[in-house]
Structure 1
Amino acid sequence: MKKYIYTFLTIALYLPTSTIAQSGWTKAKDTYFLKLDYSTYTSSDFRNNNGNSLKTSEFSQNAVSFYGEYGITDRLTAITFIPLYKQNGYETTNKVSGFGDIKLELKYALLQKSFPLSISIAPELPTGKKDNFATNKNNPLEKINLPSGDGEFNVWTTLAISHSFAPLKLYASAYSAFNYRTKYKERNFQNQYQAGIEVGYQFFDKLWINSKVSILTGVGAKPETADFIRGDGTSYTGVSVGGMYELGQNFGITAQYFNSNSAIVKAQNIYANNIFSVGIVYQKK
């Protein structure tokens, strides 16, 4: 069953940053998982602070990200997420790009065996471009700030639990997370709460398919003027379907579709979007 658990981890955790799920499993000592991922979306459906839909010029974002996980011990796992390249722009502006904010995480297994339970602490460092101005194509004097990082130090704390339904090749996970945010310049950011559930199943010994539902919402005083590009005052319900196909012992390919909507938590201060991503995986089990 250990072989299956390692595979669960690969599909449960290594997806675009906006859709990363969590599980109760940690990596076995000296095993690792590496993933290079490309994601893209476009949208003109902006949901304002009240959740009302506003038509804007088309906004697009493309990103290339690296995700890595290494088992320090059987109970302690080191994780990193590095946005190597983020490109933002409107159809009315030029596109601007830059390095994103690095996330470093330590994950500890509180319980193992039938119902693995883990807790993780993940500081996110302001390594991205805090100010990255795009220029209006029709009026060079008009500029809009589309940073590749949010400019603040924040810390995610996550509690996650999982279960394998062996001998069925089926698993389920649930998690709850709190994001303590600080400020950018003189602007204090609203803290965030996130939770989600995930189920996955293995087909043909090589293909894992999973589905996730998650929510993100603000905690504390809502900002008077929200900033969607930095995620301040943002809330939404997320639904995704993804999969990973193993190519031999070490390599794999992944694909995922993610949609943000108002099914459970109203989408606010966000572009309602459909994110598509593909990636390549290298792992040691």
Structure 2
Amino acid sequence: MRKNIFTMFLMLAVCIFLSGEAFSAWTQAKGHSYNQLTLSYYKTTKKFTTIERNASDEIVNTHSRVFRNEEEEFTSSKVTYYGEYGIIDTLTVYGSVPYDRQRSNDTMKFAGEDGPNGIGDINLGLRYNLVQNLLGSGALMSLQGEVKIPEAYHYGHPLEDLSLGDGQYDATLAILLGRGFGKGYAWLNTGYKYRFENEKFDPVTFKPSDQLKVSFGGGYPLTSWLSAVAYVAWTKALGNAEVSNELITKSFETGTAANNHAEGALIQDTLALESSSLNAYAGLQFNITPKWQTVVSYNRDLSGVGEFKTKNSALGETFGLAVVYVH
């Protein structure tokens, strides 16, 4: 199956719909839990790219201005479980497990296959509350560590197959701030994601760029049974992606690359190893009972401006419906 450009769409589809709780600074009380089951649908037919091509469709620059291109349709229908559990009052373990069904017009065209389905990347993390009242501001501060585990699915060849994830481990360390404001609340999450090298097809290897991740958001009750929640998330690639010489050579053999811009094309386009993105989320939470809620949400990728511009990433949207149980 030909992979083409859909790695960048996949990465957004994997991470774009998690509850705002996943970004929040608060920990669960000892023995208490937060459980969310989400049905989401992601679709994209466009991407932002720094790849410049001439009239003959040859690459002439891999670090050009950002172009907005039409692409083949890619969709991801996903059921995701996200949960938190309070080990002690100041320490919470959390994780997410998605079941993903991907469909790509591109893979249908080149291989006659719709796309993969199954369990994707699993995320596990710990959140520790460091300070309850930071410098008398009323804000609490927590430290959070998370690892992405890519062992639940078969990872195909990076130049030939569309897989349910990008096949390598990631580790994220973040500082989180949270504060209540009357009936509402706000939070800030600032983190660094280290991305390990993918050696599944050694010596055909690659390492995605590390990332700076910043998100902020909050929620406010509109009535006794309805609350509004929203956040903005920004991911900045730090430009340290690498591909092996063997991978570059393989790209010529498979027809993925055709000129002296092979390395840049692999990093910026084919494997999307240096994607930067900006997206916004809005949701309505319906309080059915004190323990049960339903959340309807919409998430959209944004073009951004300046340093916050989306580059080498998809322009898509996600619709979500979640059921939440709090114990």
TM-score higher than 0.5 here?
yes
Matched, 1:270 2:290: no
TM-superposed deviation, 1:130: 4.6
Are 1:128 and 1:148, in contact at CA under 8 Å, matched by a contact in 2? Answer: no
SS at match of 1:226: helix
TM-superposed deviation, 1:208: 1.8
Distance 1:86 1:116, change over 3 A: farther
Residues 200-219 of structure 1 correspond to what in structure 2 (within 5 A)?
A: 200-219=219-238
State the alpha-carbon separation in 2 of the partners of residues 116 and 212 from structure 1.
18
Are 2:25 and 2:187, in contact at CA under 8 Å, matched by a contact in 1? Answer: yes
State the alpha-carbon separation in 2 of the partners of residues 64 and 221 from structure 1.
33
Q: Which residue of 2 aligns with 1:139?
A: none
2:281 to 217, 220, 240: 240
State the alpha-carbon separation in 2 of the partners of residues 150 and 230 from structure 1.
9
Q: Which residue of 1 aligns with 2:247?
A: none
Matched, 1:122 2:116: no
State the alpha-carbon separation in 2 of the partners of residues 212 and 220 from structure 1.
26
SS at match of 1:145: coil
SS at match of 1:81: strand
Are 2:173 and 2:192, in contact at CA under 8 Å, matched by a contact in 1? Answer: yes
After superposition, the C-alpha distances for 1:163-199 in whole angstroms (9 at most, x for unaligned) are 101xx21111111011100121211111011101112
Q: Which residue of 2 aligns with 1:131?
A: 155
The alignment-based identity, stated in percent, is 23
1:152 to 155, 161, 168: 168
Are 2:94 and 2:126, in contact at CA under 8 Å, matched by a contact in 1? Answer: yes
1:187 to 202, 206, 212: 206
Q: Which residue of 2 aligns with 1:97?
A: 117
Matched, 1:66 2:66: no
Show structure 2 runs of 5+ residues with no match: 1-13, 51-63, 109-113, 200-204, 243-263
Matched, 1:37 2:38: yes
The structure that has the greater radius of gyration is: 2
State the alpha-carbon separation in 1 of the partners of residues 174 and 269 from structure 2.
23
Distance 1:275 1:115, change over 3 A: same
Are 2:42 and 2:318, in contact at CA under 8 Å, matched by a contact in 1? Answer: yes
Are 1:47 and 1:53, in contact at CA under 8 Å, matched by a contact in 2? Answer: yes
State the alpha-carbon separation in 1 of the partners of residues 322 and 270 from structure 2.
24
Number of residue-to-residue matches in the alignment: 258
Are 1:251 and 1:283, in contact at CA under 8 Å, matched by a contact in 2? Answer: yes
State the alpha-carbon separation in 2 of the partners of residues 190 and 270 from structure 1.
13
* Larger mean Cα displacement after TM superposition, 108-117 or 41-50: 41-50
Are 1:243 and 1:255, in contact at CA under 8 Å, matched by a contact in 2? Answer: yes
* Larger mean Cα displacement after TM superposition, 198-207 or 46-55: 46-55
Matched, 1:251 2:292: yes
State the alpha-carbon separation in 1 of the partners of residues 183 and 270 from structure 2.
39
SS at match of 1:72: strand
Given the two structures, how large is their TM-score scaled by the length of structure 1? 0.83
After superposition, the C-alpha distances for 1:35-56 in whole angstroms (9 at most, x for unaligned) are 1111112221122235311112
Distance 1:222 1:154, change over 3 A: closer
After superposition, the C-alpha distances for 1:101-120 in whole angstroms (9 at most, x for unaligned) are 11110100011152111011
In proportion to residue count, which structure has more helix?
A: 2
Are 2:17 and 2:320, in contact at CA under 8 Å, matched by a contact in 1? Answer: no
AA paired with 1:267? T
Q: Which residue of 1 aligns with 2:98?
A: 83
TM-superposed deviation, 1:232: 2.3
Given the two structures, how large is their TM-score scaled by the length of structure 2? 0.73
Structure 1 outlier segments of 4+, above 4 Å: 227-231
Are 2:207 and 2:273, in contact at CA under 8 Å, matched by a contact in 1? Answer: no
Q: Which residue of 1 aligns with 2:192?
A: 178
Matched, 1:57 2:72: yes
After superposition, the C-alpha distances for 1:70-108 in whole angstroms (9 at most, x for unaligned) are 011110000011112342422661232121111110100
State the alpha-carbon separation in 2 of the partners of residues 74 and 237 from structure 1.
33
